[in-house]
Amino acid sequence: MAAELPIPIFTTLNDALGDLQTAAVQASRWNDVAEEFEKRFGKKPAYIARAPGRVNLIGEHIDYVLFGCLPAAVEQDILMACGPSSQASGSPGSVTAQNLNPKYTPKTFVPILKDATMPLTTEQKEAEGSVHPESWYLDIDKRELRWESYVKAGYYGVLNRFFPPSSSERPVPIDLLVTGSVPAGSGLSSSAAMVVASTLSFLAVNNKLGNLTKGQLVEMAMENERRVGVNSGGMDQAASVISTPSSALYITFFPFLHAEPILLPVLRTNPRAVFVCANSLVVSDKAVGAKTHYNLRVVETLVGARILARHLNVPLQATERPTLRQVLGRWLGYKEVKGQPTELDTDKLKAGLEKVLPELEKLRPAGRGDNEELGLTMEEMIRESGLDEAVFNEVYLSWVEVEATHFQIYKRAKHVFEESLRVIEFRAACLRAADASRGGDLPESVLRELGGLMDASHVSACKFCENSCPEVDELVRIAKEAGAYGSRLTGAGWGGCTVSLVAEDKVDAFIERLAATYPAYKDLEGEALKQVIFATKPSSGACVLKLE
């Protein structure tokens, strides 16, 4: 199984680049970061860790609810050259982190090993939050977006997992140089790529890569990224770590992480198509906007799961916090056995989703008339949950900060279940196409079917998940006018990128049309334009190049 394979460690650049489509272009970036590392730190790096961004083809805002999604790694990636610090006097575990992009200023930081004689200041405790009462502490500022926070997030997990206070072993001081080609805040998961690359770098330099599996690295990176303040699901980290070329990854999270490469024959068999990413250039700062956007969706879907469970007569304990996926499973009568393969295969899951959809009408806010759009007030939501206020606050609000006057329980659940169904249909269409393509060309209807699912996903983003924005909607509209089979917002939303499925022989015209029509592209040309609209081929997942 893909998640059980070890992290690839290469010893030559050619092997590391083997799977990448544009090896020549990529090779110069690896060489540049290694040479620059040597110039800045006076010795060659010991390792270069690579982690790619990802484009989600379909299945948005459902990973944290534990439904499957279908992303693919992109070629754009984060490279981190790293090695033990050349400064002999560096404190244990101190880090000098630099970035090839001069916009990100160099940072030096030292992790603190907490003990009874050195309690944290109130400020430090607040910054850390109550969810991570651990041995090692690094101050991650969650109030503003800082590039080094992602480096620290990766480091946190390595420190706390591999350097227990009881051991006499201490982390080595590290020099690190970062370069990245994943545009930040664009929905292509630059944050997950940073955290995966940073986790890998600290593991490698401390000689802790051992027999770590891809699945274990995903779990670590997921936990690490939560330290930056977003209660994300695991899609990005899994895509960045486990992806394989030419395939999307069907990732499911329940009862445990499972990843299945799904070949994309539409990219290889006539009539061929490609996925084109277009950046709206609206930067969505997920960490800073978390309480009104991302984390609010997390809470709305969790509370929705409890309210739905009440309507479906699924008994819940007061203090548990199951997701919509878990409530569906229990309603259908499947037992949750941790560590056992999921009892709901995709056919059963599909049937279950179709069965539950009509039930969602029970979640519509009652007696609102024309004001149904408004959703539930906090008071109404607590009442609907059947919990008393103190318990509700403890279970649903004590671990996360959210801000809203009304909560959209019905709309979010509707999005989650329908989007999950679309993922299953998209996967099935790809599998059918793989079968059909063995006999020759693909029927064009496959492309139209995939495109139709992508379009429907975008409508749901606008109507029910409400995570799009006018600029992204404009890009989707132009993409459809320019002949895309389908086009949708990809990633968390509130800005970022669209992904469109476009016939291969129309890609140039498609890109020209977007470039001429989308207002924010008006003054862009050449390289600058290529950075914001590009056709992408599924790339391989994270790896480490060992240089010494």
Query: Which tokens go with 194?
Result: 């940073």
Nearer to ligand NG1, 67 or 521 (CB): 67
Give the type of residue at 184.
A
Query: Shortest Cβ distance from residue 228 to ligand NG1 (Å)?
Result: 8
Closer by beta carbon to ligand NG1, 492 or else 507? 492
Shortest spacing between CB 468 and ligand NG1, in angstroms: 12
Token pair of 370, please?
A: 């024309």
Closest CB to ligand NG1 among 171 and 234? 234
Segment interacting with ligand NG1 (CB under 6 A) among 57-65, 102-110, 152-160, 420-428:
57-65
Q: Which of 30, 37, 47, 64 binds ligand NG1 (CB under 6 A)?
A: 64
Q: In angstroms, rounded to a whole number, what is the distance separating the alpha carbons of residues 52 and 21?
A: 13
- The edge-to-edge listing of strands for the beta sheet with 497-503 is 486-489, 497-503, 273-279, 533-536
534 binds ligand NG1 (CB under 6 A): no
**Shortest distance (Å) from residue 334 CB to ligand NG1:** 24
Specify the stretch interacting with ligand NG1 by CB under 6 A; choose among 99-107, 141-149, 198-206, 228-236. 228-236
Q: Which residue's CB is nearer to ligand NG1, number 56 or number 99?
A: 56
Is 192 near ligand NG1 (CB under 6 A)? yes
Least CB distance to ligand NG1 at residue 277 (A):
12
- Give the binding range for ligand NG1 (CB under 6 A) out of 225-233, 273-281, 366-374, 401-409: 225-233
Which residue is listed with tokens 């930081």? Answer: 109
Burial class, 352, CB count within 10 angstroms (exposed 0-12 / middle 13-18 / buried 19+) = buried
Q: Of the candidates 26, 189, 206, 498, which one interacts with ligand NG1 according to CB under 6 A? A: 189
Cβ atoms of 209 and 505 closer than 8 Å: no
Sign of torsion, CA 39 44 47 50? positive
- Nearest distance, CB of residue 492 and ligand NG1, angstroms: 3
Q: Which residues are CB-neighbours of 125 under 8 A, at least 6 positions away?
A: none
Q: How many residues bind ligand NG1 (CB under 6 A)?
A: 18
Q: Kindly write out the interface string for residues 238-277 of this chain, putting x where it contacts ligand NG1 by CB under 6 A and - elsewhere.
A: ----------------------------------------
Cα–Cα distance for residue pair 495/273, rounded to 1 Å: 25
Tell me the C-alpha distance between 80 and 78, whole Å.
7
Amino acid code (one letter) for 89: S
> Other C-beta atoms within 10 Å of 526: how many?
7
What x/- string results for residues 149 through 178 when contact with ligand NG1 is judged by CB under 6 A?
------------------------------
233 binds ligand NG1 (CB under 6 A): yes
Note if 236 is an active site residue.
yes
Residue 111 or 491: which CB sits closer to ligand NG1? 491
Q: Is 235 in the site for ligand NG1 (CB under 6 A)?
A: yes
Q: Give counts: helices (H), strands (E), the chain.
A: 17, 15
CB of 176 to ligand NG1, least distance (A): 21
How far, in Å, CA of 168 to CA of 360, rounded? 56
Pairing type for strands 258-263 and 247-252 reads antiparallel
Decide: helix, strand or coil at residue 260.
Answer: strand
How many whole angstroms separate alpha carbon 65 and alpha carbon 82? Answer: 36
Residue 492 binds ligand NG1 (CB under 6 A): yes
Would you say the C-alpha torsion 136, 137, 142, 145 has a positive or negative sign?
negative
Q: Which stretch binds ligand NG1 (CB under 6 A): 183-191, 248-256, 336-344, 414-422?
A: 183-191
Instruction: Find where tokens 């068999």 sit.
Output: 269
The one among 232, 408, 420, 457 contacting ligand NG1 by CB under 6 A: 232
Among 225, 418, 425, 471, the residue binding ligand NG1 under the rule CB under 6 A is 225
Q: Does the footprint of ligand NG1 cover residue 77 (CB under 6 A)?
A: no
Collect contacts of 129-133 with beta carbons under 8 A, ≥24 apart: 130/399, 131/226, 131/399, 132/156, 132/227
Report how far residue 182's alpha carbon sits from residue 505's, in angstroms, rounded to the nearest whole number: 26
Q: Which of 63, 175, 236, 455 is catalytic?
A: 236
φ, ψ at 320 (rounded to 5°): -85, 160
Q: Which stretch binds ligand NG1 (CB under 6 A): 107-115, 189-197, 210-218, 245-253?
A: 189-197
Contacting residue, 97, 205, 218, 230, with ligand NG1 by CB under 6 A: 230
Q: Which of 85, 149, 160, 191 binds ligand NG1 (CB under 6 A)?
A: 191
Q: Angle at which helices 409-437 and 444-460 pack, to 10 degrees?
A: 170
187 binds ligand NG1 (CB under 6 A): yes
Catalytic residue numbers?
A: 236
Residues that bind ligand NG1 (CB under 6 A): 56, 60-61, 63-64, 187, 189, 191-192, 225, 230, 232-233, 235-236, 286, 491-492
